[in-house]
Amino acid sequence: AFVSANAETNLEYKPKELILTTGYLVDSFGRSVNGIAYFTSKGRGLTGYKDGRLIGDGSLEFSWGDTISFGIDTFELGSTRGNKNTIKLQDLGRGNAGKNIESLVMRFSEENDQSVFVTDKVTEVFSKYPNVINEAISLSLSNEDIQLDLGNGNTEVVKGEFEKQFESGLAEEIDKELGTQKLAFGEQYREPKQIKAVDSDSQNVQRDVERLWGATQHAQ
């Protein structure tokens, strides 16, 4: 008897209704992260919002196994597979990118002991620079400060590239417009990496670091 080529497909179970999973976006301290835009193949939304109203629990809905992308307006934070209920900010990127994603969100957010909020003001400022903002702020840069030991008790801290980018260009303009005053995420707990630079090699080591990270001032 003739069997249709689509017979197997026709016999597959097809749920009448798409079943969505509820997940939660959190930071490294387990606090809910709200106001981050997310996108899946089935839809979009803002974390911590339900039907346009702020709930404040960092929740989002997705189809299990789907790829979830996160961002602030057109700025791309990162993405992850929807195969767990709790998603950490650092899960959205690897290595430096993961840490910098969290640092960026903390830099521009309002926070308390339980929650982190990316406000409408942040989204509005980011929306002024559609797409170009992804070039202005890089998430892949080094986030490690280095403390140079120049000898004779003299030291100098050279900032990591990620923080230094907010001292010039469009990144600086955005930083100023949002009135960022607080420390970057983890800065209060982070000790700079120490490099000993003595005698005639001290200036060479320092110049190498400054050339690598774009520093412009040399120790006197």
Round to whole Å and give the CA distance between 38 and 44.
6
- Enter the tokens of residue 207: 């110049």
Tell me the residue length of the chain. 220
Higher pLDDT, 5 or 40: 40
| Predicted pLDDT of residue 126 | 97
Range of lowest pLDDT (9-18, 36-45, 166-175, 187-196): 187-196
**3-state SS string for 9-35:** HHHCCCCCCCCCEEEEEECCCCCEEEC
pLDDT band of residue 200 (cuts 50, 70, 90) is very low
For the chain, first and last CA: distance in Å? 91
Gap between the Cα atoms of 130 and 173, Å rounded = 15
Mean pLDDT over the full length of the chain: 82
